[in-house]
Structure formats: C-alpha cells, structure tokens
C-alpha cells in the first residue's frame, strides 16, 4: 500500500468529523439567530404588532437610550444594592442558624421544626404583610429578600454540617484538634459543597423576590422600571428589563460557579475538569 | 534477640521512646452485650504486640479503650504511670481507613494538629515513610498504599510513645501490604514505641510482632511470644509457619 | 466489623447513649417533637397574653386567636372556599400545562441528539430569566385576566420539569439500557420496562419542585391584578389594612401547598415502590 492510496480516505475521515463538530458547535446558535432574524423582518414588515413585540433593533436602541440617560444603570444599581444587602442579612442568618442547629442538638430540637413549618409558606405571600409593617421603603424589600434567601442557606448549611464524615471528625479528635480547629479544618470545609448549593438556590430566589417586591411597590429598581414601562406600553423597555434580569441571574450563577471551582479545587471532579482543559 | 515478657522494657527496641500499657480488671459493655469482662493485660514498653481474633471478639474495643476514645465500664487502663481518662497525645491511632482530610493537602494532613514549625516536621515525616516530594498533592490522587503511608506519617509526626493500629493494611493488595510491613518494622525498630496491631491476618501478626495475643469472646485464648529476628522474610521461615499453625488453632 | 467499629458511623449523640435502642427511641422521638413545637406555641401564647393584657395593640401582628377567628369568619361566608378554589384551579391549570410541555420537550431533547443541540441551549438561556420577570410582558400580550396568570404559572413549572426529565433521560445508566438489548426486548417494551421506571423518580422530584414553584408564582400572578383568589385576599387585606385577613390567606396558602404536594407524592408512590426512600424527596 502506498501513502497516496491511503491519504484520500484518511483525509475524508478527518474532515467529516470536523465538519460534524463544526455543525454541532453552530447548532445551539441556529435557533436563536433564526428567531431574531424572522422577528426583525416580521416586525419591520408590520406582521406583528410592534406594541406587543417590538423588533430586536428597537430593543437595542431602547437599551442605548436608557444607558445614555443613566436610568438603566441607576435602576440596576438600586436593585443590586437591595439584593446584596438582603442576601448578606438573610444569608448570614441562615448560615449561622444552620451552623447552630447542625452543631448543637438542643438548638435543632428547639428551632428546626419551627423553621420547617414556616418554610411551607410561599414567602412572596408575605409581601402585603411586610408592606403593612414596614411601609413601602427600602426596609420592606430588603426584609423580603432576606427571608427568601434565609431558607435555602439554613437548610443546606444544616444538611452540610450534619453530613460531614463522622470518621474525619473522630480522627480530628484523636489527633488532638480543639473545637475551633475542628470547625475550621474539618466541619466547615466538609459542609462547603452543600452550603454552595444553598447559595445558588438563594441567588435565584433573591432576584425573584426582588422583582415581585419592586413590581408591587417601588420608585426605583428594575422591577419598577419594567412595570412603569408596561403602563406606558413601552414594550421595548419591558423586554430590555427582562434581558437585564437574565444577565444578572447569569452573573450570579457564574459567580457561584467560580467560587465553587476555587473552594472545591481539592475535589476529584474539579481536578478532572481542570486537566481536561487544554 | 530474646524476648522477656516479664520485664517492663523489651530489649531490642530502643526503649526510651515506648511506654508500658496495663489493663487491670477491665470490663466494657455496649448496652446488654459485654464485650470485655475483667480483662487483664500487660504490655511492656517498646513491645510490638499483635492482637488476633474473630470479628466481635473485642479487638477494636481494646484499642478504643487504650486510645481513650471509649471509657471502660469497670477496671482501669494505665499508660506508664497515668490512668487513661481521655485522649492522650502520647498515643496515636491508625484507623482501618486512612481518614485523610480530602480538602487538606498531603503535608497539611500530616501536620493536621499544626503546632510549632509543623510544616518542616510534616515534610520530614513524609520523607520517613518514603513520600518525599508528594506533600503538595491532594489526597485524592494517592493510591491506597500511599494514603496509608500518609496516615502513618501523620501518626508518627508527633513522636508518640504508643502506636495503635486497627487493621490498617486490611484493604491493601498483597504486595503493598508487604511494603508497608517493611516500612513499619523499620520505623518501629528505630523509634522503639510500644505498638499494638489489630489484625485478622495471622501471617501479618507473625511477620511483625514480638508477641501474638488471640482474643476469643473477650478473653485471652493464647499469648504466644514470637522469637524471630527482625526484619523477617515472610513465609520463608519454617518456624513462622509453625507459629501460624498454633495461632490458627487458637482462633 | 465489630459492634465498636460500627459506632464510628453513628452520630455522636447515638454513640454516647447507644443503650437499649428500641425502647428508648419511640419515647425520645415524641419528646423531641414536643420540644420542637414549644417555641412556636410559646411565642404564640406569649403574644396572645401581651395583646390580651393591653401592652400591645396587636393591630399589625394579630394574635393567633384573631387569625383563627378571621379564618372562621371567611369560611362561614364562603369567601374562603371561593377564593381557594379559584387559586387552586389556576395553579392546577398552569401546572398541567407546564408539566405536559416540560415532559414532552424533555423527552424529545433527552432522546434525540439533534433536537438537544438545537433546542437545549435556548431553553438554558431562557432559564436564567427569573420566570416572574415575564409578568409585565405576559400582561401586555395576554391581558390582565386568566390567560396571563395561568401562562406565568405554566412557565414557572415548565423549567424544572423539562430539566429534570431531560437530564434523567440522558443519565439513564447505559448498562441498564443494555439489559433491554440483551433480552431482545422490543423498542416499546424497553421504553416501558426500563426507560420509564428509571426516569420516574427524577420526574416525580421535578414535578414536585414545579408544583412548589407554581404555588409561588400564583401568588405573584394574583398580585398583578386579580379580583379573586387568595392573592386577591392578600392585596385586599393590605389595602384595607387588615393583617388578620392577610395572615388567614397566608395560612391557607401554606396548607393548600402542603396538601397538593402530599397528594402528588402519594399518587407517585405506587410507581416508586421499588425505591428505598419514597417520600423522602425534598
């Protein structure tokens, strides 16, 4: 057999999979791009009511406009600030509560069933009550976000602490680690994967709670911006608001994933992932 | 090398580093079941004792009492001149599983208790068990034998007077197990700590120990000195085979 | 191993008191349950006493007795049933729509590589939008009445169900699937006897998650303008400054949510009997 005889077949072998790979890489984009193009054409041709569904280009120009007059940044910042303060308070309390009930049996007996009971209430239903309590100021919204993020962090911290390998804790006792060292070197790192799962849930609930709270009562923030735009039938701004929400949600997701990668670098799953990356 | 069970310091071992262990009339029960009843045992400083027996015969209980993990229901456990009432830093326990902390690097696992210049001491301990240069790796990349080596280094880094081993080589393959035997034997002869090894492997007991104790239903069924010179080549010695036969008969 | 080394696994508390297990545990559990309700019960009683003795008006945070009285009042006028029924029908309508769409599309993308490459990225992108953000758009598109509410709930239910089903299908153990080939089962039999049972547990979990979200979204949907439903009771209570009505509606939400979840779980239980931990799902 000669090299020439082999090579065409081989070349075909090599190009076919790479073409397939190219096609596969393109596939995820096919549908969104197609939709965008059809949407733009339909909107321009007047096939869809621009008031219900403005063209992508209209939304882009709404984006540019609100960016220039500063309203987009101001509203996004107002929402982000509420979200983060609420996350800090509610998440911090949930973490500490989960730690307390996880480490200390009497705290579990006393608190856990109460928390489980309250958890059944859809926390959005508390909004009217919270508005009666706190008025429509910042406190109400921060309170609601804090309640929303409390439960996932509480439950997952509790679960994480409880499922730390007992054998490791015993080893640490035998090797003379005091309570503080056991907490910082064994229990907290062992509970971390579960706590991070809780954090991801909490971030999702954080945005969701905030949107509803801002829609119902606010004079600033993204929820206010979109609800206001709806009343003036500025559909482009409504869709813009939705897109910003998506972006913020995605950002929160990326942030937790980055934390996970850093904090769990000891985990075999992450080591494999790193090695596979060229 | 001769063996003198009666004396408090076994010859051959370096002596100074070991502490004697004495159990006097020790009973231990879990709920209704009594695992040990009025149990007496004396282990001189620096001796290497292997405890053999069936599951549930009280081997692990014995080890947990000496380590201070459990307290006896009756009687006394003494280390040197002290009664064991809590975990004692002079005693180190090697578990069946390596129990390495997965989120601490190898060197941090060895120096898990930290303390003064722990890193240097931990790296030295790693060199002693033949794991030079592996300190910065995660435990998850190590093989089973390497993990037990790290666990051994972690036990030895604080220079204990007594080393307790709870079937630590049970899960290793035959070749790795022989390597671990050589390693442990060498370190023990050099340091001279008192060693209690729990095992269900009679050959392992004869290969390592000065004295083999067979536990049956919470009592000593056989207390047999093993008068063979260290290091021992396993299986090669007909005397070892004879001893193994004796022990197996008692189990 | 021996009794001693088994206790390595046991939680610390069980180890120190490993005594007569059988007799002890029954009493201990009920004692623990009792202790668990001490806090909420105690707080309720204290608050009741504080309001009764006039130290606080209890207007903003009414004591339990007033909330119960309000519940009784609402029930006797029939308003409670009426609003509950309307909310329930919205949740169930949205849940049915979202669940059917989620299962159908989940099956399509979970079994066909082409459809997965084509559709899944778009769904993943849409997923990062908090479903509630759609509310204003839905109101614009579908009006303020039933359609927009039910659609919102359906969208909320859709994503967890879709994700649960498609990822369960993709992770069906290949060895389990090969069993079907070895025994020469027909395509239909393979699906019915191997594929379906192995994705059912994840599907049930996804459905329960979806139902939970459905209850959350019905609250949001009814906030955005409704003249009936439990959410309307909430808004009405806020506008009229009646915290007792709000709390009564919140309690009804909690009870209905818990009840529908229990029904869903018990409906699924017979199909999951081979699994160890039925009813343990979150």
Which chains neighbour C (Cβ–Cβ under 8 Å, 3 or more pairs)? A, B
Instruction: Tell me: pLDDT of B124 over 90.
Output: yes
DSSP 8-state secondary structure symbol assigned to residue B126: H
3-state secondary structure of B37: strand
Q: Print burial letters for A168-205: b (CB count within 10 Å at least 16), e (below 16).
A: bbbbbbbbbbeeeebbebbbbbbbbbbbbbbbbbbbbb
Chain CA centroid to CA C180, Å = 34
Per CB-CB distance under 8 Å, the chain B contacts of A173 are 69, 87
Q: B141, B159, B177 — which closes off a domain?
A: B159
DSSP A48: S
SS3 B20: coil
Preferred mutation among C5, C8, C22 to probe B, highest tally of B CBs within 10 A? C5
* 3-state percent breakdown (helix, strand, coil) of chain B, nearest 5: 30, 25, 45
Tell me which residue of C37, C73, C46 sits closest to C237, measured CA to CA. Answer: C73
Count Cα atoms within 13 angstroms, Cβ side, for B209. Answer: 29
CATH number of the CATH domain containing B215: 3.40.50.300
In a domain, B95, yes or no: no
Question: In this model, does residue A4 exceed pLDDT 50?
Answer: no
Neighbours of C36 (CB within 10 A): 20
Q: Count of CB atoms within 10 A of residue B95's CB?
A: 21
Per-residue model confidence (pLDDT) at position C275:
59
Give me the residues paired with residue B197 across strands.
B50, B165
Percent of chain A past pLDDT 90, that is, above it, reads 32
Query: Helix, strand or coil for residue B7?
Result: coil
Nearest-Å Rg of the Cα atoms of chain B is: 18
Q: How far is C133 from chain A (nearest CA, A)?
A: 6
DSSP secondary structure string for all residues of C162-225:
HHHHHHHHHTS-HHHHHHHHHTT--HHHHIIIIIHHHHHHHHHHHHHHHHHHHHHHHHHHHHTS
pLDDT interval class at C28 (50, 70, 90): low
Which residues neighbour A113 within 8 Å (Cβ) at sequence distance 6 or greater? C33, C36, C37, C40
- Do the beta carbons of residue A225 and residue A76 sit within 8 Å? no
pLDDT at A151: 92
Lowest mean pLDDT among A75-79, A105-109, A117-121: A117-121
When CB atoms are compared, the residue of B31, B59, B70 closest to C2 is B59
Better-predicted residue by pLDDT, C275 or B5? C275
Please check whether residues B63 and B44 belong to one and the same domain. yes
Question: Residue A40 and residue A171: Cα distance in Å, rounded?
Answer: 65
Which chain C residues are within 8 Å of A31, Cβ to Cβ? 118-119, 121-122
Least confident range from C19-23, C116-120, C133-137: namely C19-23
Q: Tell me the CA distances in angstroms from C51 to C46, C48, C59, one per residue in order.
A: 9, 5, 9
The listed range with the strongest mean pLDDT (A41-45, A85-89, A199-203) is A85-89
Q: What is the mean pLDDT of residues A34-47?
A: 86
Q: Chains contacting A with at least 3 CB pairs below 8 Å?
A: B, C
Q: What is the mean pLDDT of chain C?
A: 79
> Residue A186, CB half-sphere, CA atoms under 13 Å: how many?
28
B59 vs C: CB within 8 A: yes
Residue B80's domain spans which residues? 1-90+161-251
In this prediction, residue A272 carries a pLDDT of 54
- Phi, psi at residue B198, to the nearest 5°? -95, 130
Is B177's pLDDT higher than 50? yes
The C-alpha atoms of residue C261 and residue C209 are separated, in whole angstroms, by: 9
B141 and B128, same domain (yes or no): yes
Closest chain B residue to the Cα of A265, Cα to Cα: B103
Mean pLDDT along residues C17-27: 45
Band of the pLDDT at A55, cuts 50, 70, 90?
A: confident
The larger pLDDT score, comparing residue A193 to residue C192, is at A193
C157's CB contacts (< 8 A; 6+ apart) are C94, C95, C97, C98, C99, C102, C210, C211, C213, C214
Output the DSSP codes for B191-230.
Answer: H--EEEEEES-HHHHHHH-SEEEEEETTEEEEEEE---PS
Whole-number Cα distances in Å, A24 to A21, A37, B125, C115, C117: 5, 21, 53, 11, 7
Q: Is residue B198 part of a domain?
A: yes
pLDDT band at C8 (very low <50, low <70, confident <90, very high): very low
Does any domain span residue A178? Answer: yes
Q: Is A17 exposed, middle or buried (0-12, 13-18, 19+ CB in 10 A)?
A: exposed
Other Cβ atoms within 10 Å of C140 Cβ, number: 20
Q: What total number of domains does chain B contain?
A: 2
- In chain B, residues with a C-beta closer than 8 Å to the C-beta of C18 are 30-31
* Least confident piece of the model among B18-27, B239-248, C41-50, C126-135: C126-135
pLDDT in the model for residue B195: 95
Contact B239, B228 (CB under 8 A): yes
Q: Helix, strand, coil proportions of chain C in percent (round to 5)?
A: 80, 0, 20
Same domain for B175 and B79 = yes
CB B16 within 8 A of CB B27: no
pLDDT at A193 over 70: yes
Write down the residue that tokens 């509203």 correspond to. A75
Distance CA C182, CA C173 (A): 15
Per this entry, what is the length of chain B? 251
Q: What are phi and psi of A34, to 5 degrees?
A: -60, -45
Note whether B119 and B221 are same-domain residues: no
Neighbour-count burial of B189, counting CB atoms closer than 10 A to its CB (0-12 exposed, 13-18 middle, 19+ buried): middle
Of A132 and B51, the structure prediction assigns the larger pLDDT to B51
What's the CA gap between B226 and B210, in Å, rounded? 5
- Residue spans per domain, chain C: 66-272
Asked if B31 and B80 touch (Cβ cutoff 8 Å), the reply is no
Question: Which of B26, B28, B29, B30 is the best substitution to test chain C (most C C-beta atoms within 10 A)?
Answer: B30
Are A125 and C250 within 8 A, CB to CB?
yes
Contact C3 B70 (CB under 8 A): no
**Residue C185 clears pLDDT 80, i.e. is over it:** no
State the average pLDDT over residues A239-249: 87
Helix (H) or strand (E) holding B21: strand B21-30
Q: Give the CA dihedral B190, B196, B200, B203, nearest 10 degrees.
A: 30
pLDDT at C1 over 70: no
- Res. C270 pLDDT band, cuts 50 70 90: confident
Domains held by chain A: number = 1
Domain at A167, CATH number: 1.10.3720.10
B143 and B225 share one domain:
no
- Average pLDDT for C255-261: 91
Q: Is C18 on the interface with A (CB under 8 A)?
A: no
pLDDT at A16: 58
| Sequence-separated (6 or more) residues with CB below 8 Å from residue C257 | A120, A122, C212, C215
Instruction: Please determine, for residue C278, whether its predicted confidence score (pLDDT) is greater than 60.
Output: no
Could you tell me if B92 and B160 are in contact, meaning their C-beta atoms sit under 8 angstroms apart? Answer: yes
pLDDT in tens, C56-68: 777 788 888 888 8
Could you list the residue range(s) of the whole structural domain that residue A76 is in?
56-276
Tell whether B60 and B165 lie within a shared domain.
yes
Q: Is residue C27 scored above 70 in pLDDT?
A: no
A132 phi and psi, to 5 degrees? -60, -40
Percent pLDDT > 70 in chain B is 92
Residues 175-234 of C with CB under 8 A from A: 215-216, 219-220, 223-224, 230-231, 234
| Mean pLDDT, range C12-26, rounded to an integer | 40
Per-residue pLDDT band at C22 (split at 50, 70, 90): very low
Lowest-confidence range among A143-147, B138-142, B217-221?
A: B217-221
Per-residue model confidence (pLDDT) at position C105: 93
Structure tokens at C129: 């939008």
Better pLDDT: A130 or B11: A130
Classify residue A13: in a domain, yes or no: no
Give the domain C66-272 fold: MetI-like fold (1.10.3720)
Beta strands (DSSP E) in B102-193 are 162-166
Residue C219's CB: how many other CB atoms inside 10 A? Answer: 28
Contact assessment for residue C271 and residue C201, using Cβ atoms and an 8 Å cutoff: no
In this structure, are residues A171 and A185 in contact, taking their beta carbons and an 8 Å threshold? no
Chain C contact present for A100, CB below 8 A: no
Cβ–Cβ contact A76 with C under 8 A: no
Question: What confidence score (pLDDT) does residue A78 get?
Answer: 92
Instruction: Pick the more confident residue, C133 or A127.
Output: A127
Rounded to an integer, what distance in angstroms lies between the CA atom of residue C238 and that of residue A128?
Answer: 5
Chain A residues close to C37, C-beta within 8 Å: 113-114
Question: Is residue A25, in this structure, part of any structural domain at all?
Answer: no
Find how far residue B41's CA is from the centre of its chain: 16
pLDDT for B15 equals 40
- Cβ pair B101:A173 closer than 8 A: no
**Contact (CB<8Å) C4/B64:** yes
Mean pLDDT for the stretch of residues B59-64: 89
Report pLDDT for B10: 43
Residues B238 and B182 in one domain: yes
Length of chain A counted residue by residue: 278
Instruction: With respect to residue B69, please indicate whether it lies within any of the assigned structural domains.
Output: yes
For residues A127 and A147, what is the distance between their CA atoms, to the nearest angstrom? 11
* pLDDT tens per residue across span C194-224: 778 878 888 898 999 899 889 988 998 888 7
Average pLDDT over residues B230-240: 71
DSSP-based helix, strand, coil % in chain A, nearest 5:
85, 0, 15
**Residues in a beta bridge with B198:** B51, B166
Q: Supply the angle between the helices A138-162 and A127-134 in degrees, to the nearest 10.
A: 130
Q: Report CB contact under 8 Å: A249, C38.
A: no
| pLDDT at position A142 over 90 | yes
Domain end residue (candidates: B123, B144, B159): B159
Cα–Cα dist B153/B138, whole Å: 15
Subunit partners of chain B (3 or more CB pairs within 8 A): A, C
Euclidean distance between CA atoms C100 and A153, whole angstroms: 31
Q: pLDDT at residue A232 above 90?
A: no
Cβ-Cβ contacts under 8 Å, A128 against chain C: 234-235, 237-238, 246
- In the three-class reduction of DSSP (H, G, I as helix; E, B as strand; rest coil), residue B71 is classed as coil
Q: Does C188 touch chain B (CB under 8 A)?
A: no
pLDDT of residue A13 exceeding 80, the answer is no
CA distance C254 to A97: 23
Mean pLDDT of all residues in chain A?
84
């Amino acid at each position: 057999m000669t090299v020439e005889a082999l090579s065409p077949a081989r070349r075909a072998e090599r190009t076919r999979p790479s073409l397939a790979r190219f096609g596969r890489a393109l596939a995820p984009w096919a549908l969104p791009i197609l939709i965008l193009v059809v949407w733009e054409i339909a909107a321009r041709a007047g096939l869809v009511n621009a008031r219900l569904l403005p063209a992508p280009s209209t939304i882009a120009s709404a984006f540019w406009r609100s960016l220039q007059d500063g309203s987009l940044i101001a509203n996004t910042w107002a929402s982000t600030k509420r979200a983060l303060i609420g996350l800090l308070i509610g998440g911090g309390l949930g973490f500490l509560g989960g730690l307390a009930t996880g480490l200390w049996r009497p705290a579990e007996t006393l608190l856990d069933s109460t928390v489980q009971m309250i958890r059944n209430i859809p926390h959005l239903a508390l909004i009217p009550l919270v508005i009666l309590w706190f008025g429509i100021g910042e406190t109400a919204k921060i309170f609601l976000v804090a309640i929303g993020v409390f439960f996932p962090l509480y439950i997952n911290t509790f679960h994480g602490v409880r499922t730390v390998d007992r054998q490791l804790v015993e080893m640490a006792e035998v090797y003379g680690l005091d309570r503080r060292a056991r907490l910082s070197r064994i229990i907290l790192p062992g509970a971390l994967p579960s706590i991070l799962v809780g954090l991801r849930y909490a971030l999702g609930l954080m945005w969701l709670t905030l949107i509803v709270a801002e829609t119902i009562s606010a004079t600033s923030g993204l929820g206010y911006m979109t609800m206001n735009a709806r009343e003036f039938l500025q559909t482009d701004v409504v869709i813009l608001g939705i897109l910003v929400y998506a972006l913020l949600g995605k950002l929160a997701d990326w942030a937790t994933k980055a934390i996970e990668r850093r904090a769990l670098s000891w985990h075999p799953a992450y080591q494999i992932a790193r090695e596979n990356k060229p | 090398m001769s063996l003198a069970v009666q004396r408090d310091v076994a010859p051959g071992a370096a002596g100074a580093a070991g502490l004697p262990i004495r159990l006097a009339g020790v009973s231990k029960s879990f709920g209704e079941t009594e695992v040990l009843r009025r149990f007496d045992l004396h282990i001189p400083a620096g001796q290497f004792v292997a405890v053999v027996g069936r599951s549930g015969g009280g081997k692990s209980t014995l080890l947990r009492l000496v380590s201070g993990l459990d307290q006896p229901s009756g009687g006394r456990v003494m280390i040197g001149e002290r009664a064991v009432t809590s975990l004692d830093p002079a005693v180190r326990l090697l578990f069946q599983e390596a129990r390495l902390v997965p989120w601490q690097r190898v060197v941090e696992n060895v120096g898990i208790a930290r303390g003064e210049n722990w890193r240097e001491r931990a790296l030295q301990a790693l060199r002693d068990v033949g794991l030079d240069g592996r300190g910065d790796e995660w435990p998850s990349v190590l093989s089973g034998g390497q993990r037990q080596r790290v666990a051994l280094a972690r036990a030895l880094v604080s220079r204990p007077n007594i080393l307790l081993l709870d079937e630590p080589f049970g899960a290793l393959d035959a070749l790795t197990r022989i390597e671990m035997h050589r390693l442990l034997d060498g370190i023990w002869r050099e340091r001279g700590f008192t060693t209690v090894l729990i095992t269900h492997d009679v050959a392992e007991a004869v290969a390592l120990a000065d004295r083999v104790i067979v536990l049956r239903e919470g009592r000593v069924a056989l207390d047999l000195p093993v008068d063979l010179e260290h290091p021992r080549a396993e299986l090669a010695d007909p005397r070892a085979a004879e001893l193994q036969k004796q022990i197996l008969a008692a189990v | 191993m021996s009794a001693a080394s088994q206790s390595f696994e046991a939680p610390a508390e069980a180890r120190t008191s490993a005594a007569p297990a059988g007799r002890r545990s029954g009493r201990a559990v009920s004692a623990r349950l009792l202790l668990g309700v001490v806090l909420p019960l105690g707080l309720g009683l204290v608050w009741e006493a504080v309001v009764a003795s006039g130290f606080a008006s209890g207007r903003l945070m009414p004591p339990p007795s007033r909330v119960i009285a309000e519940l009784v009042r609402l029930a006797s006028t029939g308003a409670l049933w009426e609003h509950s029924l309307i909310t329930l029908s919205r949740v169930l309508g949205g849940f049915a729509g979202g669940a059917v769409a989620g299962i159908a599309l989940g099956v399509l993308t979970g079994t066909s590589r082409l459809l997965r490459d084509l559709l899944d990225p778009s769904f993943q992108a849409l997923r990062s939008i908090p479903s509630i953000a759609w509310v204003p758009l839905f109101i614009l598109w579908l009006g303020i009445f039933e359609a927009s509410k039910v659609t919102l709930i359906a969208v909320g239910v859709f994503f967890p169900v879709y994700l649960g089903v498609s990822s369960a299908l993709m992770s069906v153990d290949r060895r389990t699937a090969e069993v079907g080939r070895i025994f020469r089962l027909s395509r239909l039999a393979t699906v019915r006897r191997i594929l379906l049972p192995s994705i059912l547990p994840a599907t049930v979990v996804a459905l329960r998650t979806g139902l939970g979200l459905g209850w959350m979204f019905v609250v949001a949907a009814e906030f955005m303008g409704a003249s009936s439903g439990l959410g309307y009771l909430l808004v009405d209570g806020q506008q009229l400054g009646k915290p007792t009505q709000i709390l009564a509606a919140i309690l009804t939400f909690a009870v209905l949510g818990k009840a529908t979840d229990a029904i869903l779980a018990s409906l699924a239980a017979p199909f999951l009997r081979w699994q160890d931990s039925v009813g343990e799902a979150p």
